[in-house]
Amino acid sequence: MNYSYIVGLDVGKKSFDASLMSSDEEELCHRRFANSESGIHSLLDWVSSRVTTLDRALFCAENMGSYVTSLCLCSQQLGFSLALECPLAIKKSIGLQRGKNDRVDAFRIASYAVSRHRKLKLYKLPDKNLVQLRAWMCIRDNLVKQKVSAIKLLEITTETSVLTNLSACRTFLEGQLSMIKEKISYVEQEMEKIINSSVLLAENYELLTSIKGIGMINAIVLLCVTDNFRRFSDPRKFACYCGVAPFEHTSGTSIRGKTRTSQLANREVKVYLTRAAITAMVWDPQLKAYYKKKTGEGKHKASVINAIRAKIIARCFAVIKRRTPFVTLRA
């Protein structure tokens, strides 16, 4: 849709700056509002007094996580067009800049949206079940870190116990470790309940876990990151997002760098995919044979593991598209 006006929003914790810009990239006015429901209503009244209709205005903001929650909810309730963009994408598109403040940032966001408004995707509220899964995954990640820390402390205490009696310390740490494990088990049970409560989530979960290397946690991570496979339609785009897709690094005759993956990626998802690849190399005959063959040819182990990550991504998207479980074949 073509928009006659663009509103760039630089969102902070307590307030946000708004820059109203015409389609020819001329700033018409600027104002600051409170980052609250009442502040967003004031924003809409302010824009409405300066444009013919809100339907011709596009609001664009950086995706700042919880800071844009009120803005997202109001966009769905009040029916105005909102696009959330990656802050890094906006920063990289601006070019060479000097200095910054909230008003300038709002202007730059509006300029970014003016030049790309035909390609911007309007924000839609995520599925409630996926929001719950993401919250439980954050809690589980935190508990796993506590578990690793407790295990290390227990090992240190055990090694130091040769110097003196540390049985009380060991008992305390063992009790703490047991409690953390119980909490992790409880979190995983809650995630299973959420998955089973949704037919589409449960179906996709079963399809994903039919792939060797994709267990419960890896499947949930993929469901959350891909928005239940609605955010990405192409496995190659998802591989690029995860930092799995290799890119050429050459220029003319002087630069002949190795083909390598980009650092601009979701590294957390890449870690989960690495674990999946390592597990698949053990239990999948095809991937196990592939790993032995490539390493035998002199390929670097990390390069081969990255190729296996890409194969697993391709398998995930294939089973979702075909709606049939993955069939493991012999090498």
Instruction: Give residue 260's pLDDT.
Output: 80
pLDDT in tens, 216-246: 999 999 999 999 999 898 999 999 999 998 8
The predicted model scores a pTM of: 0.87
Contact between 249 and 255 under an 8 Å Cβ cutoff? The reply is yes
Instruction: Give residue 331's pLDDT.
Output: 58
Instruction: Give residue 1's pLDDT.
Output: 67
Instruction: Give residue 98's pLDDT.
Output: 82
Domain ranges of the chain: 5-116, 128-197, 222-322
Instruction: Give residue 252's pLDDT.
Output: 72
**β-strand pairing of 5-11 with 15-22:** antiparallel
Q: Which CATH number fits domain 5-116: 3.30.420.40, 3.40.50.620, 3.40.50.300, 3.10.450.50?
A: 3.30.420.40
Distances (CA, A) of 154 to 166, 173, 177, 185: 10, 6, 9, 21
**Low-confidence spans in the chain with pLDDT less than 50:** none
Crossing angle of helices 216-225/267-283, nearest 10°? 140
